[in-house]
């Protein structure tokens, strides 16, 4: 590759300035020649606003790179080297429904977990498979860098059903966890004074940490971060409330949990908190909608030619940074460690060979090479195996539109209470999402 062509699906996203900034920061190591920001007609206005900002940023940075804005995905994809995906089917209103409908039944309402996460998968997976169909024709050698959520399931659909082996899934949570860990210990990230190993699934992983002297400090960190005296002191991921874990349970884990485990380890407490937000019409999606409005106002400012600081409040921070880092690593065969969603192939012995896992991997020019992890103890093994099986059912339902399979996924999901309530919730959400679920049309017609 001599000069890289990047295509970003969902280019009108508010994240785009971080992505552009990422390319600007890497101008000496990653020669980006063209950036194509693609969106759908409904996103045209946002695309134009953020696209104009992107152009200003590139110009201000004197990057030798063209930024294109288009609603024609196929035009953009032709000859692409990397395709990144950050689209949101149904926009923020769909997210708000994913949150509010479950909550109206007294169940966790969240973008990537519980019923909301499953419906985001149902809406997104048909689109990613469609994009792959275009890529097969137009850029058969391109890498697909997915950070559309639920990132793990979308990546699994792309690889196993779309058969696009050159897909890598990304998430900002491991990036943030590592940064926080350096911060807590007052150590230097640039010097790689810590060694991290992550394993699990997207938004459902655990990690171990070693220091420069080769000593594992996982338990020290558990004691520091999760002990009753420090409980809730460290805020890891912006959008997840740090309700203190039951300390002895985390000690029994012997591994550091990710922030999303709050939903699984503290379901009742998180729900209580969410129901407050629900009542006040301040679910995360509703908050983000307000933030986004402000952001786009900022983006319109023709003087602005940098990523505005306020974007950091948005929640999805470091997603785009991770994407740029991944692209650079593949481009330059950097062989650094990143946490990505990729084929298991035995990396985690407890999970099916063919599934997608999120694991620490060496990033090479031929893609991620995961560090072997092996087996988990039963305390992690069981929940992890359930989660993956639930994901498998969800993805299959998303691809086939099989109602029984969707109901099965709802029954299996630990954040959805099983029984008639699960069926009712499923039906209500199918109806509410009718325009984004072509695969479920016959069931939806039946429900109407």
| Residue closer to a copy of itself (CB basis): 14 or 408 | 408
Q: Which of residues 124-183 bind a copy of itself (CB under 8 A)?
A: none
What does DSSP assign to residue 334?
A: -
CB of 443 to a copy of itself, least distance (A): 9
Verify binding: residue 308, a copy of itself, rule CB under 8 A: no
Nearer to a copy of itself, 79 or 404 (CB): 404
Give SS3 for 48.
Answer: helix
**Does residue 256 contact residue 209 with C-beta atoms inside 8 Å?**
yes
Q: Does 206 interact with a copy of itself (rule: CB under 8 A)? A: no
- Applying CB under 8 A, which of residues 66, 418, 441, 442 lies at the interface with a copy of itself? 418
Of 179 and 335, nearer to a copy of itself (C-beta) is 335
Contacting a copy of itself within 369-388 (CB under 8 A): 369-375, 378-379, 381-383, 385-388
The annotated binding site for substrate is made up of 95, 149
The verdict on 266 binding a copy of itself (CB under 8 A) reads yes
* Positions at the binding site for Mn(2+): 171, 203
Give me the catalytic one of 260, 278, 331, 403: 260
Supply the DSSP string of 200-246, one letter for each residue. Answer: EETTEEEEEEEETTS-B-HHHHHHHHHSGGGTT-S--STTS--PPP-
Rounded to whole angstroms, the Cα distance separating 237 from 200 reads: 18
- Contact indicator for 144, 77 with CB cutoff of 8 Å: no
Query: Has 353 been annotated as catalytic?
Result: no
d(CA 408, CA 284): 27
Q: Is residue 417 at the binding interface for a copy of itself, with CB under 8 A as the rule?
A: yes
Q: What's the CA gap between 316 and 257, in Å, rounded? A: 19
Q: Does 291 bind a copy of itself (CB under 8 A)?
A: no
Residue 6 backbone phi and psi in degrees, to 5: -105, 135
Half-sphere exposure of residue 314, counting CA atoms within 13 Å on the CB side? 25
Distance CA 232, CA 216 (A): 23
Looking at the Cβ atoms of 133 and 335, the one nearer to a copy of itself is 335
- Site for a copy of itself contains 248 (CB under 8 A): yes
Residue numbers 342-371 binding a copy of itself by CB under 8 A: 345-349, 353, 362, 364-367, 369-371
- Tell me the C-alpha distance between 404 and 391, whole Å: 15
Provide the annotated active-site residues. 260
């Amino acid at each position: 590759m001599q000069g890289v062509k990047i295509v970003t699906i969902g280019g009108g996203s508010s994240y785009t300035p971080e992505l552009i900034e990422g390319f600007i920061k890497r101008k000496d190591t990653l020669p980006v020649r063209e950036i194509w920001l693609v969106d759908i007609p409904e996103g045209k206005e946002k695309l134009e606003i953020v696209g104009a900002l992107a152009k200003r940023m590139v110009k201000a940075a004197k990057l030798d790179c063209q930024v294109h804005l288009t609603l024609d995905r196929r035009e953009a994809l032709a000859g692409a080297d990397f395709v990144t995906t950050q689209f949101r089917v149904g926009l923020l209103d769909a997210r708000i429904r994913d949150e509010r409908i479950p909550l109206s039944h007294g169940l966790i309402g969240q973008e990537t977990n519980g019923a909301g996460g499953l419906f985001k998968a149902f809406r997104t997976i048909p689109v990613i498979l469609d994009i792959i169909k275009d890529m097969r024709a137009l850029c058969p050698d391109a890498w697909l860098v997915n950070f559309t959520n639920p990132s793990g399931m979308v990546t699994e659909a792309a690889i196993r059903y779309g058969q696009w082996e050159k897909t890598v899934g990304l998430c900002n949570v491991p990036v943030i966890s590592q940064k926080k860990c350096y911060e807590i210990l007052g150590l230097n990230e640039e010097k790689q004074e810590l060694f991290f190993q992550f394993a699990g699934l997207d938004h459902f992983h655990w990690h171990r940490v070693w220091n420069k002297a080769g000593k594992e400090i996982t338990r020290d960190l558990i004691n520091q971060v999760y002990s009753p005296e420090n409980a809730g002191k460290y805020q890891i991921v912006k959008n997840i409330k740090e309700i203190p874990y039951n300390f002895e349970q985390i000690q029994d884990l012997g591994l550091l949990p990710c922030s999303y485990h709050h939903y699984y380890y503290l379901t009742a407490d998180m729900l209580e908190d969410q129901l407050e937000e629900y009542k006040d019409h301040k679910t995360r999606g509703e908050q983000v909608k307000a933030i986004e409005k402000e952001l786009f106002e900022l983006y319109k400012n023709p003087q602005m030619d940098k990523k505005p600081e306020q974007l950091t409040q948005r929640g999805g921070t470091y997603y785009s940074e991770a994407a740029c880092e991944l692209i650079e690593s593949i481009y330059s065969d950097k062989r650094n460690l990143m946490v990505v969603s990729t084929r298991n192939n035995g990396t985690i012995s407890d999970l099916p060979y063919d599934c997608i896992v999120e694991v620490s991997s060496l990033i090479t020019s031929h893609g991620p090479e995961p560090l072997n992890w092996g087996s988990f103890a039963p305390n992690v093994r069981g929940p992890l195996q359930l989660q993956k099986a639930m994901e498998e059912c969800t993805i299959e339902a998303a691809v086939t539109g099989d109602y029984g399979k969707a109901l099965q996924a709802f029954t299996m999901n630990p954040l959805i209470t099983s029984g008639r309530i699960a069926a009712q919730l499923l039906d209500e959400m199918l109806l509410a999402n009718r325009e984004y679920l072509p695969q479920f049309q016959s069931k939806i017609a039946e429900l109407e």
